[in-house]
Amino acid sequence: MSTTSGITCLLIDAQNGNRKALDELLPLVYDELKRVAARQLAAERGNHTLQATALLHEAYIRLIDQHSVDWTNRAHFFSIASQMMRRILVNYAEAHAAKKRGDGKTVLSLDEINDFPQTGSTDVLFLDAALNRLHEFDPQQAKIIELKFFAGLTTEETAEILGVSDSTVKREWRIAKAWLATQLA
C-alpha cells in the first residue's frame, strides 16, 4: 500500500473512531505538515512568537477533532490542514492587533513565493480580507490561492481536489494572482 493510500485509509479509520489510526497517522504526515507550517510562518513578520512546530500541533489537534469531514485523499487532508493553519494565524494576528491596538501589524511577505505577484509586504489580516472578497465573487479562484499558496499543493493536486483540469487551475491561478496583486497594491 502506498503512503498516499495509507494516509487516506488512516484518515477514514480515525474519522470512524479508531484512535490508534491517529497514532499511526501523525508520523506519516508530520514532516509535510511541518513544511506547510514553516511555509506559512516564513511569510509572517520576522519576530513572530509562534513557531512552526506549535502551529503544526495546534492545527493537528483541530484536524483530528473534525468528525464531519469526509476525507477523500492525502491532498484533501493537507488542504484542510493549510486552511486550519491560515485560520490560526489570522486569529493570532487579530489577537495581536487587538492587544497592540494596531501598532504591531503582522506582515506577510508574498515575495518569497516565486510565481506569486511581487507585492512587497502586507498585513495578514488584509490578505485574509482580500481572499474573503475574492471568495464572494469567485470561490474557485480563492480556493486555488489557498491550495497553491498556503498549502503548497501542486497544480495537479489542486485540480484533483477541485475536480477540474490542470489547465483550468493554471488559468484561474493566473487570474486570481493578478486580481490579488491589485488588491494588495
Residues 101-136: pLDDT tens digits? 544 444 444 443 444 444 444 467 777 888 888 888
Q: How far apart are alpha carbons 130 and 74 in whole angstroms? A: 28
Residue 46's pLDDT is: 65
What's the rounded mean pLDDT across residues 168-179?
88
Q: How far apart are alpha carbons 75 and 161 in whole angstroms? A: 7
Show me where the domains of the chain are located.
3-184
What's the rounded mean pLDDT across residues 82-103?
74
> pLDDT (tens digit, 9 = 90+) per residue, 1-55?
566 678 888 888 887 878 788 788 888 888 888 888 888 777 776 666 778 888 8
Residue 48's pLDDT is: 67
pLDDT greater than 70 at residue 92 = yes
Between helix 3-15 and helix 74-100 the angle, nearest 10°, is 70
Most confident of 92-96, 116-120, 158-162: 158-162
Residue 167's pLDDT is: 92
pLDDT greater than 90 at residue 165 = yes
Residue 111's pLDDT is: 40
What's the rounded mean pLDDT across residues 94-106?
58
Strand intervals (E) in the chain: 107-109, 121-123
Three-class SS state of 43: coil
Give rounded-to-5 percent helix, strand, coil for the chain: 70, 5, 25
Closest Cα to residue 82, out of 38, 24, 135, 126?
Answer: 38
Q: Are residues 75 and 156 in contact, defined by beta-carbon separation less than 8 angstroms?
A: no
Which has more pLDDT, 81 or 121?
Answer: 81
What's the rounded mean pLDDT across residues 83-91?
84
Residue 55's pLDDT is: 85
Burial class (CB in 10 A: 0-12, 13-18, 19+), 33: buried
Residue 109's pLDDT is: 43
Q: Are strands 121-123 and 107-109 parallel, antiparallel or unpaired?
A: antiparallel
